[in-house]
């Protein structure tokens, strides 16, 4: 009976939510290159099941608690409000979450986005476990780790010892922290597992040329109110991370200007100035031979993205229909 019930819920889920996995199509298209090697392995996931009430849903047999799912649903709130405002001019009032727009309510939209996100996160954790990168822990285990990490950071803060990142994690920021580290480790492991052919690297090179630019050089004159002038030569590759003024100038102004055009009354490092664009020169792209190390990183990254997208598409998802349907947003 349990198998039949799970199968029924699975069919209901697929019929109602098939479109959520379309959001992974773009990720899957990042690479059409062939991955050798790693497939899913059957593992023991414990005796708890979706039917026992321990989980809201399971992903390939691995449980997702309601509290865990709600982290992802709450994260969708602002984006959902913005989506329905931009597309339907929908006001975020008392009836917002249950009002239909083209047959879909904001609540349904947010829940499906959250479901897609939690399935992807789970598949990343599962794959990392299969590859021996980490020992898989359920949400309760993650929260125990978070509390221990927060206590350790609090102790370091009190004693004046250095540490990196946040002084205290919330459940969602800790989940993001783990996911970011896992994705990075999966990409490193992919580099070790699969050596791309030259043909594959050439395809990656063509697909990622914009990330391998030698930069664009802008020459411009800054004219101050007191008559002083400053001649500036700026390569886009050399813009300091904290230099938001130059970024704004180039990407919000120069990108739409021709040499000889000017900007009047621009606030430039606390001075109001006029700026004349003198010349723009693209330096082209890094030669293939010099880019090979970067291309291996891009290849591994795209292969992990493709692999995760495939696992998400093939995931066996079973959930407690009544509990899922009862979830609301306020």
Q: What residues contact residue 163 under an 8 Å CB cut-off, 6+ apart?
A: 153, 156, 157
pLDDT at 52: 53
Pairing verdict, β 229-235 and 216-224: antiparallel
**Smallest Cα–Cα separation from 307: which of 131, 127, 142?**
127
Residue 20 has pLDDT above 50, yes or no: no
**Smallest Cα–Cα separation from 30: which of 304, 232, 266?**
304
**Smallest Cα–Cα separation from 121: which of 165, 50, 186?**
186
What are the tens digits of pLDDT across the range 288-328?
A: 999 999 999 999 999 999 999 999 999 999 989 999 999 99
CA distance 327 to 330: 10
pLDDT at 10: 38
CA distance 239 to 211: 15
Residue 74 has pLDDT above 70, yes or no: yes
pLDDT at 50: 53
What is the model's pTM? 0.71
What are the tens digits of pLDDT across the range 111-140?
A: 999 999 999 999 999 999 999 998 999 999
> Comparing 6 with 206, which gets the higher pLDDT?
206
CA distance 265 to 273: 5
What are the tens digits of pLDDT across the range 25-62?
A: 333 333 333 333 333 333 335 434 455 568 999 999 99
Provide mean pLDDT across the span 50-77: 90
Provide mean pLDDT across the span 195-219: 93
Residue 182 token pair = 């896992």
């Amino acid at each position: 009976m349990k198998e039949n019930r799970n199968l029924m819920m699975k069919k209901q889920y697929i019929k109602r939510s098939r479109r959520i996995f379309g959001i992974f199509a773009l990720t899957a298209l990042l690479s059409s290159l062939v991955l050798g090697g790693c497939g899913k392995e059957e593992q023991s996931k414990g005796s708890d099941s979706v039917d026992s009430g321990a989980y809201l849903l399971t992903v390939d047999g691995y449980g997702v608690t309601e509290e865990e799912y709600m982290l992802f649903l709450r994260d969708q709130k602002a984006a959902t409000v913005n989506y329905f405002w931009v597309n339907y001019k929908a006001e975020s009032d008392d009836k917002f979450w249950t009002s239909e727009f083209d047959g879909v309510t904001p609540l349904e939209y947010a829940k499906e986005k959250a479901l897609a996100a939690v399935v992807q996160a789970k598949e990343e954790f599962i794959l990392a476990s299969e590859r021996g990168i980490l020992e898989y822990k359920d949400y309760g285990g993650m929260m125990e780790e978070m509390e221990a990490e927060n206590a350790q950071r609090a102790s370091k803060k009190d004693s004046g010892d250095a540490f990196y990142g946040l002084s205290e994690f919330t459940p969602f920021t800790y989940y993001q922290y783990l996911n970011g580290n896992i994705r990075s480790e999966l990409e490193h492991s992919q580099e070790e597992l699969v050596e791309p052919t030259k043909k594959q690297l050439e395809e990656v090179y063509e697909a990622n040329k914009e990330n391998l630019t030698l930069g664009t050089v802008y020459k411009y004159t800054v004219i101050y109110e007191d008559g002083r002038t400053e001649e500036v030569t700026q390569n886009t590759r050399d813009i300091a991370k904290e230099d938001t003024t130059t970024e704004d100038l180039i990407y919000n102004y120069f990108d739409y200007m021709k040499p000889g055009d000017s900007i009047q009354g621009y606030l430039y490092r606390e001075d109001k100035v006029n700026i004349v664009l003198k010349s723009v020169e693209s330096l082209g792209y890094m030669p293939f031979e010099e880019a090979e190390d970067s291309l291996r990183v891009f290849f591994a990254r795209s292969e992990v993205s493709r692999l995760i997208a495939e696992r998400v598409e093939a995931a066996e998802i079973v959930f407690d229909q009544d509990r899922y349907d009862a979830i609301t947003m306020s």
